[in-house]
């Protein structure tokens, strides 16, 4: 699968304006022929996460390239004022990079984190960072599904290198057990803390989440798996 995520800011921010932009982008998303198309307002608490999440999935990169022009226009015209975007291959680049709990419920909340690892990071350092992220589903039962991907094409505020996605049964699962779990503080936060010598993540991240009425993260041909690193 080839996946496209755009976090979209609009101004002025009022309900009629947001509804109109969402409808315009949703129509453009449907016209791309994407196998999955989500356009949803973000929920309170996002950080640099935009006002709308647009997430598309295609069976090939060529399908996206052949249909992207109209979608580009829909996500760039006024009153859109900023777009942070990533494109990536949904197939896992390492064991455990994508999974769904065998006993999990379909996620009602979709979360995506766009981040940039410093250019000076070594292969071993990036490996340790990815392993730390992928260790979380083993301990945080609230994570219903997860996927860690490396970015192929980035746009917006930074040259994003990674996308870290999850699904949750509800918002409390993200803002409570995930954000506040000791494994987050001990294993993951140091990579984001500029005062910590192991810090790898540079600049601001995009921490965004919204509701979804269908699963967006599937292990595809892989068996449904528990978190193993």
* Residue 199 belongs to a domain: yes
Rounded to 5 degrees, what are φ and ψ at 79?
-90, 20
User: What's the number of domains the chain is made of?
Assistant: 1
CATH code, domain carrying 182: 3.30.70.100
| 21-57: pLDDT as tens digits | 999 999 999 999 999 999 999 999 999 999 999 999 9
Joined together, the tokens standing for residue 4 give 């496209």
- Which range of residues forms the domain containing residue 45? 2-211
C-alpha 110/C-alpha 160 separation (Å) is 19
SS3 assignment, position 218: coil
C-alpha 95/C-alpha 104 separation (Å) is 20
Q: What's the mean pLDDT in 88-104?
A: 81
Rounded to 5 degrees, what are φ and ψ at 172?
-60, -35
* Residue 227 belongs to a domain: no
- Does residue 222 surpass a pLDDT of 60? no
| 178-215: pLDDT as tens digits | 888 888 878 899 999 999 999 999 889 999 999 999 99
C-alpha 147/C-alpha 181 separation (Å) is 19
Joined together, the tokens standing for residue 67 give 């249909």
| Contact between 229 and 138 (Cβ < 8 Å) | yes
| 155-169: pLDDT as tens digits | 999 999 999 999 999
């Amino acid at each position: 699968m080839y996946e496209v995520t755009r976090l979209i800011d609009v101004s002025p921010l009022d309900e009629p304006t947001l509804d109109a932009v969402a409808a315009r982008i949703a129509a453009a998303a449907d016209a791309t022929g994407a196998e999955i198309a989500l356009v949803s307002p973000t929920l309170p608490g996002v950080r640099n996460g935009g006002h709308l999440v647009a997430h598309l999935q295609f069976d090939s990169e060529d399908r996206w390239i052949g249909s992207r022009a109209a979608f580009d226009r829909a996500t760039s015209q006024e009153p859109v004022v900023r777009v942070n975007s990533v494109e990536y291959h949904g197939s896992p680049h390492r064991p455990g990079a994508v999974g769904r709990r065998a006993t999990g419920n379909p996620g009602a909340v979709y979360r995506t984190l766009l981040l940039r690892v410093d250019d000076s990071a070594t292969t071993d350092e990036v490996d340790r960072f990815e392993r730390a992220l992928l260790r979380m589903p083993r301990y945080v039962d609230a994570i219903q599904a997860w996927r860690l991907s490396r970015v192929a094409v980035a746009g917006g505020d930074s040259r994003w290198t990674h996308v870290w996605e999850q699904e949750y049964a509800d918002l409390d699962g993200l803002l409570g057990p995930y954000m506040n779990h000791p494994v987050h503080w001990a294993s993951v936060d140091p990579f984001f803390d500029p005062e910590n010598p192991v810090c790898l993540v540079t600049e601001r991240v995009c921490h965004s989440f919204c509701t979804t009425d269908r699963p967006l993260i599937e292990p595809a041909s892989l068996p449904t798996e528990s978190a193993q690193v």
